[in-house]
């Protein structure tokens, strides 16, 4: 089976939850970066070393160009019952065709890691992991983070935003204490709490990322303006309209523009 553009990713069994969710975002006009969805069968072939499959994946680099992000989209991932958040690998700032192939193999392997298999067992998911992959243009974020449309801490009907400088992986991986913002359902800012963002994950010129130390003033400075919070509130509202239910979003701002990077239903 061949890769398709993300907007064409419709089948959960072939392309996994993350790709299908992003495909729905693009079809609805939400601000997600362009990319491709690689089906499970193609990813399995790449991991097995099949030369035609590897050539197919390598060719995607020329079509997207620049710096890419390679993310897992395993079947069952980002579903209403299981997020698999943090279980599968994301490879950022991939900068050549061979590195795209290597990243796909690494993502496939991460679906078979001890922690991922234990998570599957805990949820009662039987059978061999089926790992599809998303290859997307990387957003070189000035600030990024997560947004929940219901407060996961106390269940309040409000937006909870966590944000940091640079790429959002610093928040997802727990490397910083992020800024925290609470917004009412009507868009009123309820609270702004500065975190301690003493490092940022930044893309490097030759590929990959690095943890860069920030000075104390930058670490304590709020990384979102009220205008950006309004943009995030509007994005959350639009996602509720498109998908229904509660939203767990990953987002980034770059060059003054807001991007939706991932969307899943909010799970416990």
What's the pLDDT at 199? 97
Sign of CA dihedral 198, 202, 204, 207: positive
Length of the chain as a residue count: 268
Residue 161 — very low, low, confident or very high, per pLDDT cuts 50/70/90?
Answer: very high
Among residues 110, 102, 57, the alpha carbon closest in space to that of 84 is found at 110
The mean predicted confidence, pLDDT, of the chain is 92
pLDDT in tens, 99-154: 999 999 999 998 886 676 677 666 666 667 889 999 999 999 999 999 999 999 99
Stretch 53-57: mean pLDDT: 97
**Top mean-pLDDT range of 25-29, 81-85, 171-175, 262-266:** 25-29
Average pLDDT over residues 23-50: 97
168-213, pLDDT tens digit by residue?
999 999 999 999 999 999 999 999 999 999 999 999 999 999 999 9
For position 150, what pLDDT does the model report? Answer: 96
- Could you tell me the pLDDT band of residue 88, with boundaries at 50, 70 and 90? confident
The pLDDT confidence band at residue 65, using thresholds 50, 70 and 90, is confident
Q: In this predicted structure, what is the pLDDT of residue 129?
A: 85
Q: What is the pLDDT of residue 75?
A: 85
Domains, the chain, ranges and CATH?
4-137 (3.30.1490.20), 143-265 (3.30.470.20)
- Residue 88 has phi, psi (to 5 degrees) of -110, 150
The residue assigned the tokens 């010129």 is 205
């Amino acid at each position: 089976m061949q890769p398709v553009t993300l907007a064409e990713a419709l089948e959960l069994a072939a392309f996994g939850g993350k790709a299908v969710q992003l495909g729905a975002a693009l079809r609805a006009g939400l601000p997600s970066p362009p990319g491709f969805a690689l089906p499970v069968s193609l990813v399995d072939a790449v991991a097995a070393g099949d030369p035609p499959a590897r050539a197919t994946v390598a060719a995607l680099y020329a079509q997207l160009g620049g710096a890419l992000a390679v993310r897992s989209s395993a079947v069952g991932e980002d579903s209403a019952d299981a997020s698999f958040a943090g279980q599968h690998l994301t490879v950022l700032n991939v900068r050549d065709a061979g590195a795209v192939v290597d990243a796909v193999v690494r993502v496939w392997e991460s679906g078979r890691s001890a922690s991922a298999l234990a998570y599957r067992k805990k949820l009662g998911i039987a059978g061999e992991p089926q790992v599809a992959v998303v290859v997307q243009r990387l957003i070189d974020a000035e600030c990024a983070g997560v947004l929940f449309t219901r407060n996961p801490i106390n269940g309040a009907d409000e937006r909870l935003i966590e944000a940091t400088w640079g790429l959002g992986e610093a928040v997802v991986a727990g490397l910083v204490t992020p800024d925290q913002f609470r917004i009412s359902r009507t868009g009123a800012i309820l609270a702004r709490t500065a975190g301690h963002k003493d490092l940022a994950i930044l893309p490097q010129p030759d590929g990959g990322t690095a943890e860069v130390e920030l000075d104390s003033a930058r670490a304590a400075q709020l990384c979102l303006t009220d205008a950006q919070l309004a943009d995030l509130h509007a994005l959350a509202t639009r996602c509720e309209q498109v998908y229904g239910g509660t939203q767990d979003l990953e987002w980034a701002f770059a060059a003054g523009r807001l991007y939706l990077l991932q969307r899943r239903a909010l799970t416990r």
